[in-house]
Structure 1
């Protein structure tokens, strides 16, 4: 008899536990959405006007190794098809391992652009948007890209200021001021959003774009490392909302959240980086109508990229 009563109590308890669980899930989802919308509205309130995103066709897919590659393009003029990509990166995400790698392609790399002949790689965006950039990378390096993100640099500023109220700690290697709207002194310090943007865009020194690409990769590592850990997870919805108005992407919010969770996880490990062209694989050249270019050994760089992704 007692056993029967105990079984009845257990059966009655389960619906209550399930109800509490569902209410908890609903509360978490509601909080996340509220934070996301707060971030979106915050950015919209700071923009002069909401930019109208161009809707691009992008025939992306996972690469032959089963990885997810995201084409990240930085531009000062998002939504204008005539603009060239100022920053070209590929984020390599391995879902099984939860790892991230980062490849930067120098914008002056002289490559074959499908249907247009040889030009600087950054002109592929102006000629045919992210889809032509995807085709260019596929043709030259035999790597598929599944997603694209075109980011306005002001979104980078807002993200830094929201995520790091006290600034991002970074070692500035030299004095920088020309054409970046800020003056940075050398030394270990904390930079706000505008200062970080100046840091990653500076290229007026002896090594020019090579130094800028190195600083961009250094900044990504610093941001990822300083945000890494469980304390960042509750901030993700708002951080994504802050950036969303400044980007044009074929990724939905759930894709971004899923990958961001792994990126900021304390178990992520270090972010490996690669620059194309790799050392001893290019020569400086001057081409009529193009100016100074990097004439690269495509096969050598393709081999280096594939080794980098798979190791």
Structure 2
């Protein structure tokens, strides 16, 4: 009996010991798990701090939202609060032709894009604003769209977009060429299909960029699908003088951006870290670190569903607007804004703001182009404020009146111009710093060439560089091109083949020149 009690006691003691051991084991496991979680949290915190520290190196600007709001119409504000625009975030994207780190202003925006994000579906649409589009620059002066960034940096450029397009943009991202090069290299390159013409121009551009950035030049040797590095892909974005001109160039830019977005959404953590390393010193933005982290961490949730450009292809034409050179004319701005709001926000029968109607009327007046009852682009538009010279198909049309801006004269023919050396001829050319148009100081008119001080090149439509001495002689005798009736001129899309700017203008008998009684300056001669 005693033995039985002792056995029971011993069994109970063992059971108690086992329970205590099991409890101690569970406690150790719990403590170990807690320690592991704490270590993971500490590592994650360190990683976040590491990334935040990197992102803090991004150049930031505290744009005055109040200033931007002043230039957003009341109609647009109401639409964003309770209308079709509600639930969308619109961000301006600028690509600038500077490689010196000066991303703020004093440089033309080579790329102007609007990224419109549907906050519910995470779908993104990209819209290029063609840089030569004739618009209100956000300060009630009119010129090419890329002039706005050069004059007043991102604030004025955003005002330009909001005022002309009835948008409510308050944030932007600016990237220089070097930033794009480094991002694409960090992603391992992208695949692009090239034509023979694009291969030649791509190599021309990347030769110049390789020298400027101190990078290796690797020639692309054939057309077809090619895997491009950062320098090659960025050079591809800059190609302008092929079929399609600037419209095709902006299409290339959107294509590259889509490829970069696609690659980034599939990138590993190490690749994303490399991207952050590459661009922190080459981005200028109004977005906060938390906002950037939000977009980056959710990049796989977003998708680019469509891209396009404005003015749209069937509502635009080309015109030379005085000294501002060859511009893309929205015909009309009102019609393009109606189209844009349906494209971005699904808003049918949108009614543009009173300000857009005012700007649209001014652009029609300056260019001489409008839409007929069937929606076709036609010339011959007239109003009491018709102001400038328009050009289509190489034919110049001069309305009877000019604005004070165009008639104001100066004793200095080089006033407002900047000079650079044509690398092909060694000659000095003079150009408008806001538009890039090479100007003949003797006449105050564009020669047809474009100066690109960022690359140090002078380019003619149809060629990658100038092949003649473009230095104007301010004392030389000049002739005036023939003029035809704008009502009979046929509007053409600027993407069509352009007239050789080097061709001699037809001679005009000076004795036929008659002064315009409504103008403060002598009008060009006309021929029948």
Q: After superposition, give the CA deviation of every residue in 1:225-284 in whole Å (9 maximum; x if it has no partner).
A: 23333x535543441232110111111233223213333x1x544431121111211111
Change in 2 beyond 3 A, CA 1:240/1:307 = farther
Higher percent of residues as helix:
1
> What SS does the aligned partner of 1:82 have?
coil
> What SS does the aligned partner of 1:104 have?
strand
Q: After superposition, give the CA deviation of every residue in 1:174-205 in whole Å (9 maximum; x if it has no partner).
A: 33333412554311010001100111111121
Per the TM alignment, residue 293 of structure 1 is displaced from its structure 2 partner at its CA by: 0.3
Is 2:106 the partner of 1:82? yes
Aligned residue number for residue 31 of structure 1: 47
Select the residue among 286, 293, 304 that pairs with 2:327. Answer: 293
Aligned residue number for residue 168 of structure 1: 190
Change in 2 beyond 3 A, CA 1:206/1:70 = same
Per the TM alignment, residue 308 of structure 1 is displaced from its structure 2 partner at its CA by: 2.2
Contact 1:33 1:237 in 2 (8 A): no
Query: Which protein has the larger Cα radius of gyration, Structure 1 or Structure 2?
Result: 2
Per the TM alignment, residue 16 of structure 1 is displaced from its structure 2 partner at its CA by: 6.6
> What SS does the aligned partner of 1:245 have?
coil
> What SS does the aligned partner of 1:181 have?
helix
Contact 2:103 2:176 in 1 (8 A): no
> What SS does the aligned partner of 1:86 have?
strand
- Summarize the alignment of residues 45-194 of structure 1 with structure 2, pairs less than 5 Å apart: 55=61, 57-59=63-65, 63=80, 64-77=85-98, 78-79=102-103, 81-164=105-188, 167-176=189-198, 177-178=200-201, 179-182=204-207, 183-184=219-220, 185-194=222-231
Higher relative contact order structure (alpha carbons within 8 Å, sequence separation ≥ 6):
1
TM-score by length of 2: 0.50
Aligned residue number for residue 282 of structure 1: 316
TM-score by length of 1: 0.81
Per the TM alignment, residue 127 of structure 1 is displaced from its structure 2 partner at its CA by: 1.7
Alpha-carbon separation, structure 2, partners of 1:40 and 1:158: 18
Contact 1:40 1:241 in 2 (8 A): no
> What SS does the aligned partner of 2:232 have?
helix
Aligned residue number for residue 303 of structure 1: 338
**How many residues are aligned here?**
293
Aligned residue number for residue 442 of structure 2: none
Specify every segment of 5 or more residues in structure 1 that has no aligned partner in the other structure, as ranges: 42-51
Per the TM alignment, residue 224 of structure 1 is displaced from its structure 2 partner at its CA by: 2.0
Alpha-carbon separation, structure 1, partners of 2:34 and 2:334: 58
- Summarize the alignment of residues 213-224 of structure 1 with structure 2, pairs less than 5 Å apart: 213-224=250-261
Contact 1:67 1:93 in 2 (8 A): yes
Pairwise CA RMSD of aligned residues?
3.3
Alpha-carbon separation, structure 1, partners of 2:155 and 2:54: 32
